[in-house]
Amino acid sequence: MPTALVTGASAGLGRALAAALVSRKWTVVGDGRDEAALTAAAREVGFTAVPGDVTDPAHRAALAGACPGLDLLVNNASSLGASPLPPLGGYPLAELENVYRTNVFAPLALTQLLLPALTAARGTVINVSSDAAVEAYEGWGGYGSAKAALDHVTAVLAVENPDLAVYAVDPGDLRTAMHQRAFPGEDISDRPLPETAVPAFLRLLGERPASGRYRAADLLVAA
């Protein structure tokens, strides 16, 4: 039975991915900062909960300890940053540091810890990206530039680890709590639910194309 670690599994895309993997007989370990929400999701979906913050080295060590063997790492946990979204010219630098700590440094640090297990399994790393990594949207400079850095980290990891499948995946705009924080007070009910993007991730796992950056919309159309 293959094993996956999904960060940010208490809600949104992380929870949807965890549920899909569990339904396909994967053993899933999930983390999240909100212990109550993570515990509830783990109970309902059927994964092992390891609550904590991915920016905390002790928590990352606990996650590695929970995954002695690992076939898939999904770095999904992310920080939007300040809300409402501020222009870069006035972005609070302490908050920007936190965005990079969560969206770039933590995924890389966790990947470093788990690289031996992933290499032994010829496994897969999926880093959840965003269209804001490649498009210049007003107000999205903090989050977008961090995701752009994560995209490049992903690309270099792929070159350095040819036995692994290493993907950056843009899931598209989804109806999540984080996306709602980007548009406070606005109705985002027109955005699709996170579950709609899951088949794109499953296609990557099933077909294992070349490492690279993929858009869920393209994978879904091709499917």
Phi-psi region of 170 (alpha: psi -120 to 50; beta: other; left: phi over 0): beta
Q: Which of 91, 143, 167, 214 is catalytic?
A: 143
Helix, strand, or coil (residue 4): strand
Burial profile 14-50: b = 16 or more Cβ within 10 angstroms, e = fewer: bbbbbbbbbeeebbbbbbbbeeebbeebbeebebbbb
Nearest Cα to Cα of residue 126 among 148, 109, 143, 111: 111
Question: Which token pair is 169?
Answer: 């995946």
Helix, strand, or coil (residue 25): coil
Element containing residue 214 per DSSP (H, E):
strand 212-215
Beta bridge partners of 215: 170
Question: Could you give the count of Cα atoms lying within 13 Å of 196 in the half-sphere of its Cβ?
Answer: 13
Active-site residue 167, yes or no? no
Whether the ω angle into residue 84 lies within 30 degrees of 0, i.e. cis, is: yes
Catalytic positions are: 143
